[in-house]
A = this chain, B = another copy of it.
Amino acid sequence: MSRTLAQIAQYVNGQVVGDPDYLVHSVGTLTQAGPEQISFLANKKYRKFLHTTRAGAVIVTTGLGEDLSCNLIEVADPYVAYARIAAMLHPEPFKQPGIHPSAWVHPDAEIADNVSIGPQVSIEAGVKIGRDSVIAAGCVLEANVKVGQDCRIKPNVTLCHEVMIGDRVIIHPGVVIGADGFGIANDNGQWIKVPQVGSVRIGNDVEIGANTTIDRGAIDDTAIADGVKLDNQIQIAHNVIIGEHTVIAGCVGIAGSTRVGRHCAIGGGTGIAGHIEIADGVQLTGMSMVTKSITESGVFSSGIPAEPAKQWHKNVIRYRQMDKLTERVKQLENQLKD
């Protein structure tokens, strides 16, 4: 789908420096793009590549102040403009509306106009799917699931009974939403199941990465607010609440009943204990271990980065001796006092 730079600039409210009639058909990186592709510069680190790129055009920040031979599109925020241009040049593959003959849809399900239901799908009674949504191959929507408008449910996703999904939600393959939370009660040494009678509510404009799991609430619902973006293999336990526009990287685990604020950013591999609160605007660097509430915004971290194994081994031993070391320092202090 080729577009002129003039068309592209207009779409992102930018200005062409160069040939407005120049045609590009796809996006590329500064180092790999060819003359029919458009690239972008969002990170100063890659500025040097502007002089050697073969890209037909480059999206840059307004007033870059470089004298370049290639076409430019100047915008306020090149990465945001790039995201929009890439979506324009690389539209999603068209999905035929209708129900694939190999899908099974319960007659009591309500499927709106222009919905595409792929092969081998299973949709139970009481399900409602809003218009323009796509349910890809192999998905299972249990009884009474609600999916909003313009959603993309990718292959092999499981939405358990009663789960509610907002509009414009993207759910990647292998995701499980609404499985039972981990509720057990100890009955004289044996664990018995505590029924999980809540559900899961997913807001609008949420994206959920592959093989992520979000459990249904024990009594009240688990809730993911509007604009939240979740990466792959995240585990969200029952009754967790995630605030608007929070982003969470891969392999994070959040234990039950914890509330995460709005506009947080949680690094990959982080673990967050149950029954605590994370304030709005908190950033956690990767692999953090959070055991207590964080009451103010800011950047928080934990973990000691890898080092050569011999040195690691020595440091672990020293760590174990810190108590003794503190004691030795105290004795020295006492001796000097005398």
Contacts and interface: CB of A to CB of B under 8 A. Distances in A.
Interface of A: 26-29, 32, 77, 79-80, 82-84, 86-87, 90, 93, 100, 102, 104, 118-122, 124, 136-138, 140, 142-143, 154-156, 158, 160-161, 170, 172-174, 176, 179-180, 182-187, 189-195, 197, 205, 207, 209-211, 213, 215, 219-220, 227, 229, 231-233, 235, 237, 245, 247, 249-251, 253, 255, 263, 268-269, 271, 273, 284-292, 294, 298-309, 312-316, 318-323, 325-326, 328-329, 332-333, 335-336
A307 B161 CA distance: 39
B189 A245 contact: yes
Contacts of A237: 231-232, 250
A84 B193 CA distance: 8
Contact of A194 (B32, B86, B251, B319): B86
A306 B300 contact: yes
A182 B84 CA distance: 16
A194 B83 contact: yes
B328 A333 contact: yes
Protomer copies: 3
B140 A136 contact: yes
A211 B213 contact: yes
Contact of A191 (B93, B187, B235, B247): B247
Given A190-B227, A211-B213, A269 B271 contact: yes
A195 B231 contact: no
Contact of A291 (B83, B102, B286): B286
Contacts of A326: 318, 321, 325
Given A118-B122, A122-B155, A191-B227, 19 more contacts: A26-B197, A28-B219, A122-B137, A122-B138, A154-B160, A160-B173, A172-B180, A182-B250, A184-B207, A184-B229, A184-B247, A191-B245, A231-B237, A233-B253, A268-B271, A299-B309, A301-B308, A302-B312, A319-B322
B138 A119 contact: no
Contacts of A174: 158, 174, 176, 211, 213
B210 A233 contact: no
A256 to B, nearest CB: 9
A185 B87 CA distance: 13
A310 to B, nearest CB: 8
B192 A179 contact: no
A155 B142 CA distance: 9
A93 B217 CA distance: 17
B320 A315 contact: yes
Contacts of A322: 315, 318-319, 322, 325
Given A87-B193, A155-B140, A285 B309 contact: yes
Contacts of A122: 102, 118-120, 137-138, 155
Contacts of A158: 138, 154-156, 173-174, 210
Given A137-B122, A213-B233, A229-B184, A336 B335 contact: yes
Contact of A154 (B179, B329, B335): B179
Q: Which of A82, A247, A326 has the most CB of B within 10 A?
A: A326
